[in-house]
Structure 1
Amino acid sequence: VPNLRFPEFNKEWKKRKLSDFLTFKNGINASKESYGSGYKFINVLDIIENDFITHQNIIGAVKISEEVFNKNIVEYGDILFQRSSETREDVGQSNVYLDKKVPATFGGFVIRGKRIKDYNPLFLNYLLKTSPSRKEITSKSGGSTRYNIGQDTLSSVGIITTELKEQAKIASFLLSIEGRIQTQNKIIEDYKLFKKGMMQQLFQQEIRFKEEGENYPKWEIKRLDSIAHVVKGKQLNKQELTENGTYLCQNGGIEPSGYTEEYNTTGETITISEGGNSCGYVNYIRDKFWCGGHCYSLLNIASEMINLFLYQYLKFHQSKIMSLRVGSGLPNIQKKDIVNFKIILPCKEEQQKIAKVLSDIDRKIELETKIVALLNQQKQYFLQNLFI
């Protein structure tokens, strides 16, 4: 029996194989000209990017005959599996089709599990995402440069399941958590849209703050190097970085490149990515960190500047900064282009008010994001303990 259980259930769970519940079939490989219209067809992205699949959220379509469609039909409760992947960890990922009204079909990189015995579709979907199920599926995959899973292999996968009433109870409980996560994500997206609108109105001066009923002075145009020193960081070798450490290393990407026990830049610093696919990305780092060789730091901010205002202004104009990139193989932004970037500045008092409004929204987004992280942790805990 599992570690956690609803009190009304006491029967032992039973070992089964997927072949007791599903028969397997590979998907359609149509000609290139067939795609773009016709029947909705499920591909790998539909499997990995949705909590569950419905007709409405399927991305692709394929033009096939009614006969072919009926032979490859996907109906309510069917399970879809990712057939191959470049990494063993991703092969065999699964999802469930939960549209009772409209069927679909499926592509050649997908294996369909057609229901032959009664089960709760959501329960089986959750069960196949648990660590024991994922480990068994991935361990049975084959290949070297690309990993594959076949129909026979999926048929042999063992699962431990329970009676339908308990399946339904577990599925309903986990679905309620997912609903809370979706609601929370919607709250975050709404805040982000609100902030985007506020930034546009504030930085285009459609909204102006007043002091005792009077507008603040006109905004002035300045070059970035007149209000901050643009300093390129120092590169660390991969061998000098660890997965955990005291100080993060910010380099050319959006996320840290790793961690180190030394720092070369103080906190509360604006950075701009210098090289790579995300060059021009604007970030604000609150703690001491190591600024890498593909990252610019804005240091010695002028006394008439509010640091957080400058960050919010540059973040709003991030796409313009990214347009300064040159090169194709490994794009980069040259320092001469960054230092010449034009900024329109209000007086310090108005900067302070704008920075406060936008930073308050950021703090709210951070708080709501932490709630989502906690809900996801809760979901993972229950996935580990409500199943065997």
Structure 2
Amino acid sequence: MVAPKLRFKEFDGDWSESKLKDCIDSIDSGWSPQCESYPADENEWAVLKTTSVDWDGFKANFNKKLPSNLEARFEIEVKPNDILVTRAGPTERVGVVAVVPHNVRSKLMISDKLIRLKADNENNPEFLGISLSSVKCQNQLQSKTSGLAKSQTNISQKILCDVSLMTPAKAEQTKIASFLSAVDEKISQLTQKHALLSQYKQGMMQKLFSQQIRFKADDGSEFGEWEEKALKTIARIYDGTHQTPNYVEDGVPFYSVEHVTANNFFKTKFIAEDVFLNELKRVQLEKNDILLTRIGDIGTSKLIDWDVRASFYVSLALIKVDKNHNSSFVNQYIKSVFFQRELHERTIHVAFPKKINLGEIGLCLIRLPCPEEQTKIANFLSAIDQKIEVVAQQIEQAKTWKKGLLQQMFV
């Protein structure tokens, strides 16, 4: 019997193998005229960008306004339950699938880099969209992409139509799709909560660092005036090793930009012990140091709040704040619009990749309250960070759970 491992108890029939072309009424692509560089208002016609089709769902606001001198093409306006698939772009962006929701706004047209499918009456469009997103279907698509480079690949309508997939009766398709939509809704709610917490933190940082809001001392008295200093006057700043090391299977963790931007220091490459000890003679990573991205990505920071034994690459700056100032406060201030603006002005944007020199980082100005107020601000913002991190973990757990469901609920 052909059936998934995990199944709703009211269904017991076999799943059948079909070609996608036998599950749809129509397939077409759109139009890519020269559009404005900005998105359209709700009542204006627009052409969808390929980024409107995302693994996280359909994003109507990723569009470009149709110029007023061009006539809209009503036949390629997206409708609820349309299945959209990206057909051209970098390898990782080809074959991305999203189903247009019921509350989609009007006057959005598909571009010629998108393929649109309309499910027939025997199949549920959301189920087909989920099926096309599965590893089995994605492997079929990726094996047949064409193009001269990974940055310029494409798939044809014929390749998409020939994809094989397993389908149950429509009633079971609908049940599965509804269940997984509920999971997606939960993920969406968590994602919105994460965004709102992040916005709240940004707002509080703006008010705290501009001194619109001030903390008071434990005895109720007012803290003194803030001072403005160059970062180099309160911290020593280093860069990492300039030599790309020979990595080993197991050894000392080696940090680079991607670990800071992803806020993930568990999955690293490793360097040999003797290489680490040699680098240690120059500079040592320690708890309460700050890592700052300075090549490619500029200005993402991470406070090392764990007992660390690692080395790092030249693309990162290491900031060692002196004993008279709070490292957590400095890290939070680095994330503020005030410090980020300074970094941006001192960045060499014509370099490829763009970069900022250590000396320029040291010249960036930082506003400093007394140590007691620094601590209060740092503790307040760190508490918000902890809440944001908890929600981020909940999102990842929900996505992992959904991934497991997909593996068990589909053949």
Matched, 1:273 2:293: yes
Counterpart of 1:10 in 2: which secondary structure?
coil
Q: Secondary structure at the match of 2:57?
A: coil
Q: Which residue of 2 aligns with 1:18?
A: 20
- Counterpart amino acid of 2:357? Q
The alignment-based identity, stated in percent, is 28
Q: AA paired with 1:269? A: D
Match for 2:402: what amino acid? K
Distance 1:76 1:200, change over 3 A: closer
Long gaps (5+) in structure 2: 277-283
Q: Quick one: structure 1 residues 325 and 24, their matched pair in 2 at CA, closer, same or farther if it must change by over 3 Å?
A: same
2:289 is aligned with 1:282:
no
> What residue number does 1:370 align with?
393
- Tell me if 1:133 matches 2:137: yes
- The answer to whether 1:98 aligns with 2:101 is yes
Report the equivalent of 2:53. 47
Shift of 1:151: 1.8
Normalization by structure 1: what TM-score? 0.88
- How is 1:25-36 mapped onto 2 (pairs within 5 angstroms)? 25-30=28-33
Aligned-partner residue type, residue 282 of structure 1: S
Task: Give the match for residue 253 of structure 2.
Answer: 247
Q: Partner of 1:344 in structure 2? A: 367
CA distance in structure 2 between the partners assigned to 1:350 and 1:13 by the alignment? 65
AA aligned to 1:214 is: S
List per-residue Cα deviations over 1:323-359 (Å, max 9, x = no partner).
2112502332223322232222222111111111011
Q: TM-score, normalised by structure 2?
A: 0.83
**Which secondary structure does the structure 2 equivalent of 1:128 belong to?**
helix
| Residue identity matched to 2:89 | S
**C-alpha distance 323-280 of structure 1, shift in aligned 2 (>3 A):** farther
Between the aligned partners of 1:35 and 1:197, the Cα distance in structure 2 is: 26
1 CA distance for matches of 2:410 and 2:101? 21
Alpha-carbon distance, 1:159 to partner: 0.9
Contact 1:141 1:149 in 2 (8 A): yes
Equivalent residues in 2 for 1:101-116, closer than 5 Å: 102=106, 104-116=108-120
Please state how far the C-alpha of 1:374 moved relative to its aligned partner. Answer: 0.3
Q: 1: CA distance between counterparts of 2:136 and 2:147?
A: 21
Instruction: State the match for 1:295 in structure 2.
Output: 316
- Given candidates 314, 323, 328, the residue that maps to 1:308 is 328
**Partners of 2:330 and 2:99 in 1: CA distance:** 47
Counterpart position of 1:171:
177
Query: What is the CA–CA distance in structure 2 between the aligned matches of 1:91 and 1:140, rounded to whole Å?
Result: 11
2:160 is matched by which residue type in structure 1? L
- Give the C-alpha shift of residue 65 in structure 1: 4.4
Task: Give 1:183-262 correspondences, 5 Å limit.
Answer: 183-211=189-217, 212-237=219-244, 239-240=246-247, 247-251=253-257, 254-255=261-262, 258-261=268-271
Asked if the contact 1:16/1:161 (under 8 Å) is kept, the reply is yes
Q: Which amino acid in structure 2 is aligned with residue 318 of structure 1?
A: Q
Does residue 1:69 correspond to 2:71, yes or no? no
The answer to whether structure 1 residue 328 and structure 2 residue 350 are counterparts is yes
Partner letter of residue 52 of structure 2? D
Instruction: Name the stretch that deviates more: 252-261 or 156-165.
Output: 252-261
The corresponding residue for 1:379 is 402
Cα contact 2:39–2:62 (8 A) shared by 1? no
Partner of 1:79: 83
